[in-house]
Each structure stands twice: as C-alpha cells, then as structure tokens.
C-alpha cells in the first residue's frame, strides 16, 4: 500500500473534473523511458516544426506510433509518415503504451489504447502556448502526458483561450491525465527555466499519448 505521506511516494492530485496529476508516477521508470526516447529519436530525429503561420516552434519534436502529429504550411495534422522525411514514424515501444494505459485507467479512463505518442524536447526558453488538443477523431479518449527532466510550469485553463488558468509545477516523473469534461481545456507550458537534470541534462522531455483515429 502506498504511503501517501512519503515525499517519494506517487500520489494523485486533482486538477479539475476529469483531470488529475499523478505525481512522481513515472519516476521509477524514467531511465528506461529515456532510453526508449533515445531509440525513437535515433530513427526520427528531433525537429523544430514550422507552424502554418510560418513560425519556427521553440519546442523540438518527434513521434512514435501508428500516427504522428506535425505541423507545416498546410496546417496541423496526424499522418502515418513524417511529412519532413516521407518515412513512417517509429513504432511505439510496448513500455510506452503500457504506461499510458495504466495511467489512463488510474485516472478513470478505462481501455485507453493510444496510437500516437508526440515527444517534445524543451530547452531553456522553449514554451508551448495555450492550445487545445482537438485534432483527434474521438474526443472521448483522454490525453496522457508524461514529464521527464527539468521542471516546468504547466498552464491549465478553461474552454476559451482568454479564461483564467491554473499554474502548476510539473516535475520529473509527473503524469497529467485529462479527458471527459476537461478534454478540450486550453493548456500550455511557460518558458522553460535553465537548469541541469541528472538524467536529461539541460532539457525537459514530454511524452503525450493520444488516440488519433477511431
């Protein structure tokens, strides 16, 4: 049984209806997860995508799974192949899928089976502006987001971009799950502060699991 009063124990922190932070949930497996991130990025290197408006994203990204999310002058889309290289995305490691399913279930979303994992790499100053994850076909499926490395401030807002936001610190090993009534809430990451993490160096990594297609 978990000791919820231990600083090292994972615990669930409610964020909103249908949204929860599973504190330290991935910390025990972080070394293995980072090894798998490195294997994925060796096959599909991190790349700064260009938004439809012509802006270079400060976050570098890669993907794994049956589908990958990307952006270019044509817009935001999921595809079976990287539109930059024309190659299929690397397969999603079984350990990734297992962790995402376990955490979704713990958050109350049973039978989640992700077909896409977007991996973002943040360097100091990198950020992700407020946005909704709405390119997926089935919005009944949750989002599972795993933080590794340097801490970052997560913004979790309402259903309009101008709504007030909560600001919560996400640390190494924290996992955020949101779906149901919170599925289309705006969210983002404030500019990453400089630092050095024992596992990831000067970076923060974020693994975001989605079900892109029914």
Dump pLDDT digits (tens) for 6-26: 456 689 999 999 999 999 999
Predicted structure pTM score: 0.94
Q: Is 12 a domain residue?
A: no
d(CA 90, CA 187): 27
Which pLDDT value is given to residue 7?
52
**187 known ligand binder:** yes
Has 139 been labeled as part of a binding site?
Answer: no
The reply, when asked if residue 89 is annotated as ligand binding, is no
Question: Is residue 2 situated within a structural domain?
Answer: no
Q: For residue 33, is it within any domain? A: yes
Q: Flag whether 29 is marked binding.
A: no
Question: Would residue 10 count as lying in a domain?
Answer: no
Q: What is the pLDDT along the chain (214 residues), one digit of tens a residue?
A: 334 334 566 899 999 999 999 999 999 999 999 999 999 999 999 999 998 989 999 999 999 999 999 988 788 999 999 988 999 999 999 999 999 999 999 999 999 999 999 999 999 999 999 999 999 999 999 999 999 999 999 999 999 999 999 999 999 999 999 999 999 999 999 999 999 999 999 999 999 999 999 8
Q: Is 167 annotated as a binding residue?
A: no
- Per-residue confidence (pLDDT) for residue 6, from 0 to 100: 46
**98 in a labelled binding site:** no
Whether residue 141 contacts residue 211, with contact meaning beta carbons closer than 8 Å, is answered with yes
The reply to whether 78 sits in an annotated binding site is yes
> Is 15 known to sit in a ligand binding site?
no
What pLDDT, on a 0 to 100 scale, did the predictor assign at position 71? 86
Would you say 184 is a known binding-site residue? no
Radius of gyration of the chain (CA): 16
Count other C-beta atoms under 10 Å from residue 210's C-beta.
Answer: 25
Tokens for 51, please give them. 């938004």
- Position 91 in a domain: yes
Domain count, the chain: 1
Q: Is residue 3 one of the residues assigned to a domain?
A: no
Burial class of 86 by CB neighbour count within 10 A (0 to 12, 13 to 18, 19+): exposed
CATH code, domain with 114: 2.60.120.590
* Residue 16 belongs to some domain of the structure: no
- 161 annotated among ligand-binding-site residues: yes
pLDDT given for residue 73 in this prediction? 79
Structural domain includes residue 92? yes
pLDDT for the residue numbered 4: 39
Q: Is 77 annotated as a binding residue?
A: yes
Boundaries of domain holding 199: 25-210
């Amino acid at each position: 049984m978990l000791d919820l009063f231990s600083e090292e124990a994972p615990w669930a922190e409610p964020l909103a209806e249908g949204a929860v932070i599973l504190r330290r949930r991935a910390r025990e497996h972080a070394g293995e997860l980072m090894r798998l991130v490195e294997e994925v990025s060796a096959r599909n290197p991190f790349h700064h995508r260009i938004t439809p408006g012509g802006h270079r994203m400060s976050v570098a990204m890669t993907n794994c799974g049956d589908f990958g999310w990307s952006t270019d002058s044509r817009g935001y889309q999921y595809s079976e192949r990287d539109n930059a290289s024309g190659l299929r995305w690397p397969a999603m490691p079984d350990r990734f899928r297992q962790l995402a399913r376990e955490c979704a279930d713990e958050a109350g979303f049973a039978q989640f089976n992700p077909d896409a994992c977007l991996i973002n790499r943040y360097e100091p100053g990198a950020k992700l502006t407020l946005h909704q994850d709405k390119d997926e076909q089935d919005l009944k499926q949750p989002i599972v987001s795993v933080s590794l490395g340097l801490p970052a401030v997560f913004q979790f807002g309402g259903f309009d971009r101008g709504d007030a936001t909560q600001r919560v610190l996400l640390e190494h090993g924290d996992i955020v799950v949101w779906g149901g009534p919170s599925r289309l809430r705006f969210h983002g990451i404030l500019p990453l502060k400089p630092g050095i993490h024992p596992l990831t160096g000067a970076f923060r990594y974020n693994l975001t699991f989605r079900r892109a297609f029914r």
